[in-house]
Structure 1
């Protein structure tokens, strides 16, 4: 029997809508609680340096109110490290961050930034926070994660998600194989494998079917679907798509 695949729901874009009008609604914490009640196994929130969506008080409330684990996405900065150590979420996923980007554009270069990441990973681990590295699916990056003693990697599925045209089927299969090979290599070395970015109910199945993947973190597509069917139903539909692929 295959291991049940966990679903982490990213609620950043509920905060994006809130911040667009400077109101206190829609409340991302309320959305997180609704997602959890609908079957989410965890909640992900990215506290960006420019606070474009999630804010500091959101993290404090999420930490206090969530019945499921909180995964804090964070840049590799001293400010974010201090915030993580103060709030002590279940997990901290270190991601690359550029102020001008619309969304995260790729994985962090764990190999190239090894000296910067090593003390940060050690400090998080010492505080009892599970360290995750958001990386590209490559042997070089997994080797860096091993050397950094990261217990988790999250593989960037953005390129796979973008290759969605009928003329891109071959390139998509190549990227899917790259993800599967990276997942197998990480798991072989004792690292838990997560994946995410750009996943929808329409494209999630091949990623969910990779046996070494233990968790998917999905946000934008769920919030988009929620506009039409509601967040609880969007979460249930994603859960069903993941379970069908896994089974």
Structure 2
């Protein structure tokens, strides 16, 4: 019997278009235009992280994205009262709750769902009651994933950054171990009834590899694609990423291709 392999979606994070804009000031390059180009090239959704310090995406960007996008908007945010209030005002398709420190360059690890306690659980409940799909960005850790299910998250996004970093550093054995943790976590989350996403540090090669994990339903990729867009254009980079993902899925599951 042919195994049913669910489709794999691509969410494109447009944060660093705003980073370039903010470095000079003014309105260009426009992250909303980047979102539209990504969608035209095959992105299934758009992710934008409104950080507390507004270092890239700004409130006005989020409002314009919500007003103009024809695909789901994933509002990446810290689990703070300010951000919850904005999410409840904007009503995006989804919110991905992430850890955030002002001194970090980018998100450095998974959310401490256990340490978030009842306060985090209440924020998840408020967002979900408003019809917003709640995702928690977590490390591939059994206890954190179990807690994510307990507090009512619909989705977990597995932090792939450690795996990608190990590959970049040439630590093949350690990378293989970390990838095994991601595979195990994807299976565990699925058993808990969670939808599985993955992201952070992915490029064409690593996206192709993780696309072979059947349980993963969506990849969220930003920095790499915006970097590639400098050389090849954003639409070309998104199309190539889609091809890499499709190839990875087909190689891992040839009978279902």
TM-score, normalised to structure 1's length? 0.98
Tell me what 2:254 maps to.
none
1:25 partner SS: coil
Report how far residue 189 of structure 1 moved: 1.2
C-alpha distance in structure 2 between counterparts of 1:140 and 1:206, whole Å = 25
Report how far residue 114 of structure 1 moved: 2.3
Q: Does 1:101 align with 2:92?
A: no
Report how far residue 155 of structure 1 moved: 0.3
C-alpha distance in structure 2 between counterparts of 1:162 and 1:219, whole Å = 16
Report how far residue 202 of structure 1 moved: 2.3
Q: Does 1:203 align with 2:206?
A: yes
Q: Does 1:168 align with 2:190?
A: no
- The number of residue pairs the alignment matches comes to 247
2:153 partner SS: coil
Tell me what 1:112 maps to.
115
Question: Given that residues 114 and 144 in structure 1 are in contact (C-alpha distance below 8 angstroms), is that contact kept between their aligned partners in structure 2?
Answer: no
Tell me what 1:86 maps to.
89
C-alpha distance in structure 1 between counterparts of 2:199 and 2:78, whole Å = 17
In structure 2, the gaps of 5 or more residues are 251-257
1:2 partner SS: coil
Deviations along 1:42-96, whole A, 9 cap, x unmatched? 0000000000000000000000000100000010100000000000000000000
Q: Does 1:2 align with 2:17?
A: no
Deviations along 1:148-182, whole A, 9 cap, x unmatched? 11010000000001012574111001000000000
In structure 1, the gaps of 5 or more residues are none
Pairing of 1:125-204 with structure 2 (within 5 A): 125-165=128-168, 167-204=170-207
Indicate the RMSD between aligned Cα atoms, in angstroms: 0.9
Q: Does 1:18 align with 2:21?
A: yes
Pairing of 1:231-242 with structure 2 (within 5 A): 231-242=234-245
Report how far residue 236 of structure 1 moved: 0.2
1:9 partner SS: strand
C-alpha distance in structure 1 between counterparts of 2:235 and 2:194, whole Å = 31
Question: Given that residues 146 and 192 in structure 2 are in contact (C-alpha distance below 8 angstroms), is that contact kept between their aligned partners in structure 1?
Answer: no
Question: Given that residues 145 and 153 in structure 1 are in contact (C-alpha distance below 8 angstroms), is that contact kept between their aligned partners in structure 2?
Answer: yes
CA change 1:165–1:231 in 2 (3 A) is: closer
Aligned counterpart in structure 2 of residue 33 of structure 1, from 33, 36, 39: 36
